[in-house]
Copies of this chain bind each other. A is one copy, B any other.
Amino acid sequence: MKNFITMAHGGGGTLQNDLIREEIVKHFSDPLLAPLPDGAVTPEGLVFSSDSFVITPRFFKGGDIGKLAVTGTVNDILMAGGIPRYLSCSLIIEEGLSIEELRQILSSMKETADLCGVSIVTGDTKVVPKGAGDGIYINTSGIGFKRPGITLGAERIEASDKIIVSGPAGEHGLSIMAERYGLESGTLASDCAFLGKAVELLSQRAGNKLKFMRDATRGGVWGIVKEIFENAPCGVILEEEALPVTPEASAVAKLLGVDPGFAACEGCFVAVVAADGAQDCLAALRRVPGFAHAAFIGEASGGKGDAVIKNSWGALRELKPPTGDQLPRIC
């Protein structure tokens, strides 16, 4: 661990994982804190999640910080096996933000909350002086209720389980990169979206054959799979060619030299399901509007900690996420 926080500590790579594991989780040492990265499940059957949003720009193709702040926390509750119900909204506003922009963001939050079926019931507002913030930062925390019949845990994963990705990879990160660098990106936009319908259908179809879910935010699809299997009792083999990538995302990725598998998504998740019935689950997921690109991208295999990726030649390499910061302030 370095002596000072760097941007790389927030980039979703190995440095950030070390910071969270070696400092935060170690200090708080709570049994509920460690196992599920997206949210905690309490003995009372509550699912609790919290996220702060510092994205720049605040308005982007496919969404804005308000929409993202609602879907982000709602999706995290879904990933931890909860049915989202209540949200808080805590704002840290930099002096000088226009009231008009604040209104747009609040409207977007309300509209998205209605769409997700959650109520924003509590919150807080702080103002910091010019230069001590950047427009607006939003924290949303949320409460959900555990979905019956589903128990998620990386320890339940076993060899031959299938890895499903729910949609095309990297759309959020690549679209934000294209905007920041002023690249022409055609129809490419952030995939920022509510995952509720897809998760509900998948849960119904898979029941307890669903072992684990995680949305592929910071770190992207490959980064998230790597993290999941750090806590699983077995390893994973991924198929590079199986990852769905749209032509627009692919074009931007090639221009920037970025692997779409490590670019952030905001409306795409990874699910690990038992081999028996996995085909059914995938078919069900593909029938949900917006999820036609869902695909198998690999399977559980090998010893604990092994994570390899097979390219189109059939060659295997170790799956290594970037150490640091691919893109600051992506969410």
Question: Interface code A37-57, partner B: CB below 8 Å = 1, 0 otherwise?
Answer: 001101000101111111000
Residues B86 and A48 in contact, CB atoms below 8 Å apart = yes
> In the complex, are the beta carbons of B141 and A5 less than 8 A apart?
no
Give CA–CA (A292, B245) in the complex, Å. Answer: 67
User: Is the beta-carbon distance between A3 and B100 smaller than 8 angstroms?
Assistant: yes
Q: Which residues of B are found within 8 Å of A133, using beta-carbon distances?
A: 132-134
Q: Which one of A122-130, A156-164, A247-255, A305-313 is at the interface?
A: A122-130
Let me know if B121 and A42 touch, CB within 8 A. Answer: yes
Q: How many residues of A contact B (CB 8 A)?
A: 76
Given contacts A119-B32, A121-B42, contact A126 B89 (CB under 8 A): no
- Please tell me if the beta carbons of A88 and B48 are within 8 angstroms of each other in the complex: yes
Chain B residue contacts of A98, Cβ below 8 A: 3-5
Give me the 8 closest cross-chain CB pairs, A-B, nearest first. Answer: A10-B127, A141-B141, A50-B88, A40-B121, A27-B106, A139-B139, A32-B121, A132-B134
SS class, residues of chain A in contact with chain B: mixed
Q: When chains A and B are docked, how far (Å) is the Cα of A5 from the Cα of B128?
A: 10
A95 touches B6 (CB 8 A): yes
Other-chain contact of A119, B30, B93, B123 (Cβ < 8 Å) = B30
Query: Which B residues touch A129, using CB under 8 A?
Result: 7, 328-329
Q: Is A286 an interface residue (CB 8 A)?
A: no
Q: A23-B102, A27-B103, A141-B90 are in contact. Are A49 and B122 (CB under 8 A)?
A: yes
Known A23-B102, A128-B328, A133-B134; further 13 A-B contacts with Cβ < 8 A: A4-B97, A9-B125, A9-B127, A10-B93, A10-B126, A16-B125, A23-B99, A48-B86, A50-B89, A52-B92, A88-B141, A90-B141, A92-B137
